[in-house]
Structure 1
Amino acid sequence: MGLISGITTDVAREYSTTLITPNTASDNVKESLTAKALPASVVVISPEARARLLQARDEPISAEQQEKNLTALAELKSSGQGPSVNLGYALFNDLNTSTDASTLSPLLSMTADNTQSAMDDFAAALHQVLAEGQVGRGRYDNSDTAEAMALTLTQSKLHKLIEKYVSGDNQKQATGIADQMINVKVAIRNSAMLSGAQDTLTLAMRYGTRDMQDSARDDLKKFESGTARPQVELNGMMKAMNPDGDMNAVFSAFAAIIRATPNPGNAAQPSIDGALKQLDIYCQQWQAFTEKYAS
């Protein structure tokens, strides 16, 4: 039987030998020390067993046993309980990431290592990736070209984090959540650009020359068909993305896409230069990301 709460096997055995069956009205059972009548259905402890019980109770519990007891208590308290999402995470409280955090929050409960520290690390990594995709975009360039790079790299980084932190059984679902978030951003981007092209055409029809009207009409058709420059750039960057391959080749492809921007009379050169500087920032961020979160 072993040691139970400080009571030895011998003492426990002594108790088992003193258990009696319920008394009937005619029974005349006396307690061994006081000679008082006992009620029905009681456990009678002999003087020898009582002495041994008192001796066992008075013996101090060793430090080793105390440590075991505390460990067992902690395990009991935590049994059936997994890590909990901390609403104090920067992921939820940073204005640049809080909206996306609501979308990605289910990923936190999918960690392969079902511990609080793993969840905390995952939340910090998600915050870094989302913040770089938002705040980093404006370091040198806020153009749609820089936004296309940010969307592409953010999606790839999220895939990397899912591979690192999410259990295999949940990775497909987690990737779907991340991709859906990016798809929504792309859809909002396209909708805003299409609306802008429609407004431009409206203004051109009211106040512009025939050439301005033709140009605005042509731009609108391109946005409607998905062949406008910003859309082509984003598609090209996403196709070029190969996070498990040579990222230098990926960034070179990004640079080539940027330099292909129509630039009549060098009018677009400041935007091109700004996008290339922003690309350098993204290159540095990617290098730091892979060093920190390499599996």
Structure 2
Amino acid sequence: QEVGVGAIVLVGVAVFLVGMFYLTGRSLRTGGISVDVMFESVAGLKQGDPVLVSGVKKGRVARVALERVKSVRVTLELSKDVAPRIDASAAVAAMDLFGAKFIDYNPGAREEKLASGRSISGTSTPDIAGVAQGVANRANELMENAANIVSDRLGEDIHNTLLVTQRAMSALSDMPEGPFIKQTTRTLQATERVMQRVDSMLGSGTGANVDSISRNLARLTEHLGHTTAALDTLLSRMNRGEGTLGRMASDTMMYHDLHELSVSLTKLLTDLQEHPDKYMKPGLIRVKLF
């Protein structure tokens, strides 16, 4: 009976040891090699985590030790068939979404083997949590930048710009009803009436009434002189930038047309006074405008 109890105890101890080795990833077989890998951060790597080569388990993490800040020494137990070369590499990677880690190990392709006592420089690949943290940080930066762009000062500047634009559009819409436009329109209408009077007077007279026509033309010349002076005054105010038309000083087309009109009228009336026979025939008086 005592022998049976002892056998049960030994079997239990053996099962416990085998289970412990299995859970920690240790192998009951010996003859592997140990390699040290230096990491800045192991991101939750622990003893017993597997070492995979192209997805095949070829060892385990035997020891994780912090030497100093950003310097962690990880000892790997590897199979002899994946002995490290001088270009060997290792990286801490995530095995699943629950935080399990493993070592993604590459023994290298060079012929020269890694010298005994030399360590491998390891890296860490970003896991889901790291990527999410990076995205969150980037989102915070974007929100801060947006908050800085849409500031109170910028909003006020945009508001002022819209007000100025609205006033400019109102001024443009009211331009046809401005005082200078009305004055110019009246001046042109008066000039048209004067020309009609000249044509009527010259068309109804005769050759014997040349002196009367000359006196009338003199009065008309004086009236047109006043009209020309009014036009010159209006154009001077426009050139000084006064009123709505002054803002359009860069567009001199209207000024040019009015000036040409006054010069032509002056020349016509002067020529009429000096050479009336050019425009009149016996029995009929005509006016030629050119």
Larger radius of gyration: 2
Fold agreement, TM-score > 0.5: no
- Larger helix share, 1 or 2: 1
TM-score normalised over the length of structure 2: 0.28
- Larger strand share, 1 or 2: 2
TM-score normalised over the length of structure 1: 0.28
